[in-house]
Structure 1
Amino acid sequence: MRPRLRLKALPFPALMAGLALYSYGATAVSAAWFLRRDFGLDVTESIGWAALLFSPWVAVGVMVWAILSLLGDRAKSMGILAILIVPIVPLAALISTGIDQAMRHADWSWGEIAARAIDRLPVAILLYTALAAAGLAAAWWRRTDLQRREMEALRAALDAVRTEQAIAARAPDAPTPLIVSVGRGRAPVLPAEIEWVSSAGNYAVVHWRDQEGLLREPLQQLEARLAPAGFARVHRSTLINLAHVAELRPLADGAWRATLDSGAELVISRSYRDAVLRRLGRS
């Protein structure tokens, strides 16, 4: 059987390059149709003329994609693109008018050039808006696809942590339980049973099996003890047992929301993401 080309298997830059080439070619061919009809040109001349007329928009497209690659599909990049419409659109219209003048071998005055450039402004605004909208859509799709791939890899890594923790719990040198104060009594809690730990000054609040208790130990010291058991810092005041993470979801600000086996939800802040990734072996 002949192998079938799958769009999902293509690298993202290749997909975007293919779409850009198609859009530019389709626009040039469409414009060439009218140039051939109005000026009696052959196919090659009309397509060449149209390709030159729209060549400034290739540079504009590269500029749009550079901004979105640097800043992403966020309010800042949209604001910059909105501001740049003021100088870019008249300049592109003026360049296209100059190309048109050269191709016609016309001797237009500056006033006539300005008038013809103004006539091109509606189309120029439409083209700029289309490029910005397409770029934003592509950047959003890329970010969503990267997040999906990242989440899939992280789920696999979390499964590996659960397996490692289960094996460690059955080993002869299994981690010793923590003695946690619960009310007036004390209870031994194995590290594998703990879902998350929060800081309370010189104490740590241990959460496990819908219960919680106090441990007289600073969070930083406790983190050093529990890190080998699959725990990671997700906030300056929170440790989480990665083996109890049931679901990870990306948030708009770059943080993650972790849902634990008990249903509790904790936010993994952006500043601790890299540490969690290192703990999971994903960086």
Structure 2
Amino acid sequence: MVQLVCSPAVAERLRRELAAVGIAVDDDGWTLVERGFDVPAGSPAVVFDPLDHVEVVRMLATGLREGTTGPPRMLTGQSGSSFMVIAPREVRYFEAAADGIVACTATGRYRVRETLAHYESAWAGLGFLRVNKSQLANLLHVTEIVPWFNSRYVLRLTGGAELEVSKTYAKRLRSALKM
């Protein structure tokens, strides 16, 4: 059902975890690829951080269930034909783009399935805040808040990205940060 492209130590742990939930390891179906290894062409792949291997097995075993309570512990983003398992702490910001909603991280931009409104409500407790009509910022990645013209702000994030906080959302930002 899945094939593995990873280090021997991680492969051993994955085989044990996958066997426990009844998922066979063979050369068909999905490919689980440890970050840093080459993604093989021809089959869908999930790229994961070795520390998150248990979370990948959980996602495969249970699927992405609708109606779960609280924010998910992980996010699945798509880049080309590969899927990346992303921890919320890695997402710097979400934005509405021409091809859908995109999660921007240090390693790249990944299309995600849900809407900005979903992430705004479900992930508010994780520090995500709407800053304008097309972007949500992870406040954990804000390095500087620059007052801007007409009661607006510019957020400078780790990695150099800058997001403009519109006048409509500036009050929410001030309230959230108690400024």
Distance 1:224 1:213 in 2: 20
Are 1:275 and 2:172 matched, yes or no? yes
Q: 1:201 to 1:263 in 2, by over 3 A?
A: closer
TM superposition shift of 1:198:
0.3
Q: Could you give the per-residue CA deviations for residues 138-193 of structure 1, whole angstroms, max 9, x where no partner exists? A: xxxxxxxxxxxxxxxxxxxxxxxxxxxxxxxxxxx995110111110101111111
Instruction: Answer whether contact 2:155 2:162 (CA < 8 A) is retained.
Output: yes
Q: Work out which of the two has the higher radius of gyration on C-alpha atoms and give 1 or 2.
A: 1
Residues 144-155 of structure 1: pairs in structure 2 closer than 5 A: none
Aligned residue in 2 for 1:220: 117
**Structure 2 residues without counterparts, runs of 5 or longer:** 1-69
Are 1:246 and 2:160 matched, yes or no? no
Instruction: Answer whether contact 2:141 2:157 (CA < 8 A) is retained.
Output: yes
Instruction: Answer whether contact 1:203 1:219 (CA < 8 A) is retained.
Output: no
More helix by share: 1
Aligned residue in 2 for 1:187: 84
Moved over 3 A (4+): 200-203
Aligned residue in 1 for 2:96: 199
Instruction: Answer whether contact 1:232 1:239 (CA < 8 A) is retained.
Output: yes
Are 1:263 and 2:179 matched, yes or no? no
- Bigger drift between 249-258 and 196-205 goes to 196-205
Instruction: Answer whether contact 2:71 2:122 (CA < 8 A) is retained.
Output: no
Q: Could you give the per-residue CA deviations for residues 110-159 of structure 1, whole angstroms, max 9, x where no partner exists? A: xxxxxxxxxxxxxxxxxxxxxxxxxxxxxxxxxxxxxxxxxxxxxxxxxx
Aligned residue in 1 for 2:128: 231
More strand by share: 2
Equivalenced residue count is: 110
Residues 122-141 of structure 1: pairs in structure 2 closer than 5 A: none
Distance 1:274 1:215 in 2: 28
| TM-score in terms of structure 1 length | 0.37
Aligned residue in 1 for 2:56: none
Residue type at the aligned position of 2:155: A
Q: 1:279 to 1:251 in 2, by over 3 A?
A: same
Q: Could you give the per-residue CA deviations for residues 204-247 of structure 1, whole angstroms, max 9, x where no partner exists? A: 10000141010011111121111110010000110000110111
**Structure 1 residues without counterparts, runs of 5 or longer:** 1-172
- Secondary structure at the counterpart of residue 73 of structure 2: coil
Q: 1:264 to 1:202 in 2, by over 3 A?
A: closer
Residue type at the aligned position of 1:277: R
TM superposition shift of 1:264:
0.7
| TM-score in terms of structure 2 length | 0.57
